[in-house]
Amino acid sequence: MKFWISCAIALGGAIALAAILKNEYFFFAGYTVLMFIVLATAWNILGGYAGYVNFGTPAFFGLGAYTAAVLFKAFELPLALQIVAAATMSGLLGLGAGLLTLRLRGIFFAIATIALVVIMETLFINWRYAGGATGLQLLRPPPTAPFESYIKMLFVVMAALAVIAVAIARYIETSWLGRGLRAIRDSEEAAEASGVPTLKLKVFACTVSGALMGVAGAPMPMYLSFIEPASTFNLNYAIGALASPMIGGTAHYIGPVLGAILLASFQQIVTVTISNEVNVLVVGVMLVVFVVAAPDGILGLLKKIPWKRS
Amino acid sequence: MEFSFDLLLEAVVFGVLLGCFYAAVSIGLSVSFGLLDVPHVAHPALIVFGSYCTWFVARYGLDPILAGVVLMPLFFLLGVAIYRFYYETFEKRGTEAGVRGIAFFFGVALIIEVGLILIFGVDQRTVEAAYIGKSLELGDMRIPLRFLVAFGVAVVLMAGLTLYLAKTFTGRAIKAVAQDEPALRLMGADPVRIKQWAFGIATATASLAGALLIVIGPVDPGLDRTYIGRTFSVVVLAGLGSMTGTLAAGLILGITESIVLMQFGASWAPAVAFGLLLLVLGVRPQGLFGR
Amino acid sequence: MISRRTMLAVASSITLAVFSGISLAQGPVKVGMSMPQTGSLGAGGKAALLALQIWVEDVNKRGGLLGRKVDFIVYDDQTNPALTPSIYTKLLDVDKVDLLIAPYGTVPTAPIMPLVKQRGLLLMGNFSFQANRAVRHDMWFNNAPWNDARSWSQGFFEAAEKLGGAKTIAFLAADQEFAQNLANGAKQIAKSKDLKTVYEQNYPPATVDFSSMIRAVRAAKPDIVYVMSYPNDSVAIIRAVNEIGVGSQVKLFGGGMVGLQFTPIMESLGHLLNGIVNYNSYVPGVKYPGIEEFLKRYSERAAKEKVDPLGFYLPPFNYAIGQILEQAVAATKSLDHKTLAAWLHKNEVNTIVGPIRWDANGEWENPRVIMAQFRGVADKNVEQFRQPSKQVVLFPPQFKTGEVMGPFEKVRK
């Protein structure tokens, strides 16, 4: 019950901000933070719970973005349907990729996921209807009532998607699915031996993870009014999706949220005040520092503090 | 576009030259990942770093290849340091070289890439040498000398490394550590020192590979992303731990890429390395000569 | 009770403000843009930026715009189209600029066209090609001497006709907004002239090695090779042509290669440029009112700032953007975008690159793209390009200085 109340507060807060604040740039930047919450939460379902490091975030994210863009160009599909279509396509990609690659161990799986990104990017570079390497310009439709500005609308939509993603992650974590995934992460052989359907669980996690990443990508073409392959399939999304849970903590669904808020907000501030490169550098350094010194993330560090009980 | 036998022949020749170059670029990874099991995603980034170091030194008049050779001892030390850090933080604590090891090296690669951008900017860098810009005429074909030079140096590098691993004491110790570490320990040798040495050698090859990279074409800080696919593709296709396999795999990659380039155009070429990789992982994961 | 001292302080500061000529109430006029200062277009962007900075200084010496000082806010977009939407959103919502200039180049400009159209903003184009074709924004005004593909290619195809007997053509184009816009138009013109396309290739913008493509071009044996490329690829293509050769039957080579107008690239390619017939916006010898005096001032500044010392291609046209804005603002006495746009559509503006009048799409009604052939260029010599003979103007007729020579590989020897 507490969880759902927090969700309602978060969503309500987002709507309130949209009604009160005037400066559009806040929503422009805030959208990115919310998007990374979704990406980090999605990544953690496979990466954190099951322990399979996935560098393929841009493939699923990009497929979701392009699905939305192409459907908008062809049929002027409304945003809600774009999101559903993106979820379906990226979910299918997750299913297929999972079946093909989840039999591979550790690093081979990780490299195979990078392969997925490059292959998806190459496919879209060669698809002229989707703009090829040149890219596609898109004119936004007017925002649906009661929103007066499209960016504010996207901000609230992404807030809703973040809430949904976290709810799904929470459900998986606390159910038998989560137990099975944790068993796989701790020792896959032991899990197999005790009858856990490891492949089915892993593929399920990969599908859900992929679908959520696609959902995070769907509003992107409308956000920028432009889409092109190199930036859409950029490995920087992989790094952000991976670093946020590593920094926040991978064991609990709040970890990715925490990590994403910290990392993405920091990035937005640095980009505006200093430079884009310094922001990527900081992400890299933070990733290395946390991976080396605090493998359980911030949540792990918090657990270590002896909280006084009165 | 019509199919032409002459074009095919030229594509194969270029493929062989390029393939040897790919093999030389990947041989360091064959040692660090193939033999030592280190998930070294940052190897291409070190190569690009090597290219920039070569560029920097070459500005003082030194031939780029020579510059690459001169830098090798420094890179060796860098490799030893990196391995030492990796060992202390990950392998020693018993964590499986999986999740965190890969994330660590990815972070390192990122730091190197962005570091290069901050120091040198995003622009492309090239070097000049007597053999860059001229070509050799062979019948109807004209082969740029820079490819021939890179090919020659690549062959020497690989031959040298293969001989080292087969004939010298430390070389054979490295192979032993890869095959059976407990047995080596029982014989009184320190596997950690041997692995450190091996990783240092692997990183030293990155210096020369970087020099070859900037001789073949312009480099920019983001180039490491293109080469992650190629190097891992070569190493996996070769079969982990096989040096001769690396050459064969490099040639296969080079020729395939060249033919795809000729027949389907430059927009499909980036997918060749990764496509090959996925194919190998799906069909024969132990590669051609794997252990 | 207000002390006399306070009264004196207040009175003197008001007086000071009034006499310093700066309006207290409104502050400076902010002009904002992103300029590619690194990446493929970086060399040209830096030169263009200097020209705009010179204009800002000039206009502030004259009292600014509407009596207010001009503040110039610039970011580096690294020739990366993915960065410009967020940069321009930042300019509008964080920096709160009054006037917008587009980044130099089609590729960084294309992504922000929907943005400016939907927010109803005036945008001064900066050497982009057909960036407004799809969006059809009525508040767009370009500073480049071309209009559509015909205006660009006419000189190139005429040169081919002068050489006689050209029946086949090859197209090599980067897969990006500029090159594709130009390629689409040029292919239609080629078809209308009954030229047979024997080779066409679109390459990804990041391609660095063209050996394979040049080999394929050679094998196809075209009479004309029309290349549409950005600076990094232009250089790589020319080096590949030098290494591999494009075939002795090629009569004409070039057309749409960006970057061969940047001084650092001209200097580094040297004799490899000879024979290439390519577009330009200005070459020494062309008479525009005030341009030679500007170029002298620019050269002095450029030497100090270590930027392109000749400044032929972009700087005069970027200075012209400033002149256009200045005249529009002065005539309408307003910074309102709709008012300015309406005035610009109705009036001709005089600049150091000649008089400019725009059509409904915001492109020049009277295009004057120069097609010139490089001849007798030596290596590592910047000053040689001040001589008109190094770039022989073939088109348009009012600037013509010579006849085209071919075949291509013969002229290069």
Q: Which value does ipTM take for this structure?
A: 0.84
Domain count, chain B: 1
Give the integer Cα–Cα distance in Å for C165 and C142. Answer: 37
Domain assignment present for A310: no
Enclosing domain of residue B38: 5-283
In sequence order, what are the beta bridge partners of B219? B125
The 8 Å CB, 24+ separation contacts for C185-188 are C185/C130, C185/C148, C185/C149, C185/C150, C185/C152, C185/C153, C186/C149, C186/C152, C186/C153, C186/C226, C186/C228, C186/C255, C186/C256, C188/C149
Domain assignment present for B289: no
How far is the CA of C355 from the CAs of A61, B118, C394, in angstroms? Answer: 49, 43, 22
Domain count, chain A: 1
**A48 contacts in B (CB within 8 Å)?**
none
Domain assignment present for B288: no
Q: Do A137 and C206 touch (CB under 8 A)?
A: no
Q: Do A106 and B96 touch (CB under 8 A)?
A: yes
In sequence order, what are the beta bridge partners of C168? C196
For residue range B153-201, what is the model confidence (pLDDT) as tens digits? 999 998 998 888 888 888 888 888 777 777 777 777 788 888 888 999 9
Domain assignment present for B236: yes
Domain assignment present for A309: no
Give the integer Cα–Cα distance in Å for C246 and B40. Answer: 42
Q: Does B89 touch chain A (CB under 8 A)?
A: yes
Greatest pairwise CA separation for chain B in angstroms: 64
Tell how far CA C64 is from the center of its chain: 25
Q: Do B218 and C207 touch (CB under 8 A)?
A: no
**C215 contacts in B (CB within 8 Å)?**
7, 10, 262
Q: Do B14 and C212 touch (CB under 8 A)?
A: yes
Q: Is the peptide bond before A141 cis (omega within 30 degrees of 0)?
A: no
Nearest CA in chain B to C205: B267
Q: Do A133 and C135 touch (CB under 8 A)?
A: no
Cβ-Cβ pairs closer than 8 A, A with C, add up to 71
Backbone angles phi, psi at C30, to 5 degrees: -100, 125
Domain assignment present for A218: yes
Residues 6+ apart with CB under 8 A from A140: A150, A222, A225, C114, C118
Q: Does B263 touch chain C (CB under 8 A)?
A: no
Backbone angles phi, psi at A146, to 5 degrees: -90, 15
| 3-state DSSP assignment of residue A189 | helix
Q: Do B107 and A288 touch (CB under 8 A)?
A: yes
**C232 contacts in B (CB within 8 Å)?**
124, 218
Q: For residue B207, what is the domain's CATH number?
A: 1.10.3470
Q: Closest partner residue to C114 among A226, A228, A230, by Cβ?
A: A226
Enclosing domain of residue A200: 2-304
Start-to-end CA span in chain B (Å): 43
Q: Does B285 touch chain A (CB under 8 A)?
A: yes
Q: Closest partner residue to A125 among C92, C93, C204, by Cβ?
A: C204
Q: Which of residues 123-182 of C touch B (CB under 8 A)?
A: 175
Domain assignment present for B246: yes
Q: Closest partner residue to A119 among B106, B110, B271, by Cβ?
A: B271
Give the integer Cα–Cα distance in Å for C260 and C268. Answer: 10
Q: Do A112 and B281 touch (CB under 8 A)?
A: yes
Q: CB of A32 within 8 A of CB of A264? A: yes
Domain assignment present for A140: yes
**A134 contacts in C (CB within 8 Å)?**
110, 175-177, 180
- Distance, in angstroms, between C333 CA and closest chain A CA? 28
Q: Does C180 touch chain A (CB under 8 A)?
A: yes
Q: For residue A42, what is the domain's CATH number?
A: 1.10.3470
Tell how far CA C125 is from the center of its chain: 9
- Distance, in angstroms, between A277 CA and closest chain B CA? 6
Cβ-Cβ pairs closer than 8 A, A with B, add up to 112
Give the integer Cα–Cα distance in Å for C292 and C158. Answer: 29
Count, in order, helices (H) and strands (E) of chain A.
15, 2
Count other C-beta atoms under 10 Å from residue A188's C-beta.
17
Q: Closest partner residue to C85 among A23, A132, A224, by Cβ?
A: A224
Give the integer Cα–Cα distance in Å for C177 and C181. Answer: 6
How far is the CA of A126 from the CAs of A131, A137, C131, in angstroms? Answer: 9, 17, 22
pTM, whole model, 2 decimals?
A: 0.86
For residue range B67-93, what is the model confidence (pLDDT) as tens digits? 999 999 999 999 999 998 888 887 666
Nearest CA in chain C to A133: C175
Count, in order, helices (H) and strands (E) of chain B.
11, 2
Nearest CA in chain B to C39: B123
**A125 contacts in B (CB within 8 Å)?**
267
Neighbours of chain C (3+ CB pairs under 8 A): A, B
Q: Does A230 touch chain C (CB under 8 A)?
A: yes
How confident is the prediction along chain C (413 residues), in pLDDT tens digits per residue? 455 555 554 555 555 544 444 444 578 999 999 999 888 898 899 999 999 999 999 999 999 999 999 999 999 888 888 889 889 998 998 899 999 999 999 999 999 999 999 899 999 999 999 999 888 999 999 999 999 888 889 899 999 999 988 999 999 999 988 999 999 999 999 999 999 999 999 998 888 889 889 989 998 999 999 999 999 999 999 999 998 889 889 999 999 999 999 998 999 899 999 999 999 999 998 889 999 999 999 999 998 888 888 989 999 999 999 999 999 999 999 999 999 999 999 999 999 999 999 999 999 999 999 999 999 999 989 999 999 899 999 999 999 999 999 899 888 87
Domain assignment present for B290: no
